[in-house]
């Protein structure tokens, strides 16, 4: 019987198949001092990092294998730190505008 997980289409040298994926994953998480992580935690981290990096959503979805935006959004969870970062950036924008003597988005176009 062919195995899903193999090395170059062959069995291991000892003639056995590769070990149980779940046990290997749990051991890797324990060794990394992150017990209890799930594979989808990595996918969620990847989506969050792509969002933070400003990668266009269509590209990020292709990279993560999401076919629909609805499912992608379930992985694009906004963290508290992301909200703080957004508030900080907005605050700096307003401070810069005040320093230049402009008030809002319409000021540059002559509106106000």
If asked whether residues 30 and 53 sit together in one domain, one would say no
The whole-model pTM stands at 0.54
Q: Total domain count for the chain?
A: 3
Instruction: Quick: pLDDT tens for 23-78.
Output: 888 988 999 999 999 988 888 899 989 988 999 999 999 999 999 999 998 888 77
| pLDDT tens digits, 78-99 | 777 778 888 999 999 999 999 9
Beta-carbon contacts of 35 under 8 Å, excluding residues fewer than 6 positions away, are: 26, 29
The whole-angstrom separation of Cα 51 and Cα 64 is 12
Q: Which domain holds residue 58?
A: 38-77
């Amino acid at each position: 019987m062919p195995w899903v997980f193999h090395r170059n289409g062959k069995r291991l040298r000892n003639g056995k198949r590769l070990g149980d994926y779940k046990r290997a994953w749990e051991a890797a998480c324990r060794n990394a001092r992150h017990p209890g992580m799930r594979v989808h935690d990595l996918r969620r981290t990847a989506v969050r990092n792509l969002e933070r990096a400003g990668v266009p959503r269509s590209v990020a979805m292709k990279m993560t294998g999401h076919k629909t935006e609805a499912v992608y959004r379930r992985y694009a969870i906004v963290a508290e730190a992301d909200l703080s970062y957004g508030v900080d950036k907005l605050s700096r924008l307003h401070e810069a505008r005040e320093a230049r003597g402009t008030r809002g988005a319409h000021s540059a176009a002559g509106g106000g």
